[in-house]
Amino acid sequence: MDSSVPSEFEDWLNLLDLAAIADSHDKIAECEYFLTLASTEQDVQRFRWLISAFFGAAYSFFEISALSAFQAFIDPRTGEPVENTDALKTLRRYVTVDQNVKNPFFVKTGGNHDVTKQLYKLRTANTHHYPLSIMATCPELPGAFHFGNIIGKGTPALAFCRTAMSLIRQVHQELEA
């Protein structure tokens, strides 16, 4: 075979824009981006949008991590994906992880830790039921924005998101170890 003639694989490889493929840190950077913007936003509507985007990125971090764990390796004999049981064990401390038997490229995660339970509850309600209820508890915004609509019963929004962000970083470190 003439080495100057590209193979089918090389032709296919040349079609890929490898710079367009995000690395494993992308979802963490996305979470940090929206949280950073929310940390200075004083308009309640824009704050709500930024927190909604943060929730979407945080949820996506866990979903993508779970799918990656299920498809961590390829069996060279069969070409079938092989799961990373250590990664799944780590993830399952924080989220429930289920793989669809009929479609192995689909996973579903749910909260399994105090922080992820609250994160998933807020994200699900915001995505599927109604926009986040955000109230200002005093003039020092955005720190005074709380989730909820009953005065004295809200959860400080930025404090919760920062706790969730810390957990995401911790999970990522554990997965990388």
Q: What is the pLDDT of residues 109-131, one digit of tens each?
A: 999 999 999 999 999 999 998 88
Going by DSSP bridges, is the β-strand pair 81-82/107-111 parallel, antiparallel, or unpaired? unpaired
Average pLDDT, rounded, for the chain: 88
Question: Confidence band (pLDDT; 50, 70, 90) for 82?
Answer: confident
Number of other CB atoms surrounding residue 105 within 10 Å = 10
Q: How far apart are CA 97 and CA 93, in angstroms?
A: 10
> Strands 81-82 and 155-156, how do they pair?
unpaired
- Examine residue 1 and state whether it is found in any structural domain, yes or no: no
Q: What is the DSSP letter of 143?
A: T
Does a structural domain hold residue 13?
no
Instruction: Give a yes or no: residue 7 inside a domain.
Output: no
Query: What residues make up the domain containing 62?
Result: 30-176
Number of alpha carbons in the 13 Å side-chain half-sphere of residue 176: 9
- Is 3 a domain residue? no
pLDDT of residue 14: 66
**Is position 15 within any domain?**
no
Name the nearest CA neighbour of 115 among 163, 159, 61: 163
Q: In a 10 Å sphere around its CB, with 0-12 CB exposed, 13-18 middle and 19+ buried, how is residue 159 labelled?
A: exposed
- Asked if the structure places residue 10 within a domain, the reply is no
Q: Would residue 6 count as lying in a domain?
A: no
Highest mean pLDDT among 14-28, 30-44, 92-106: 30-44
Q: How many domains does the chain have?
A: 1
21 lies in some domain: no
Q: pTM here?
A: 0.84
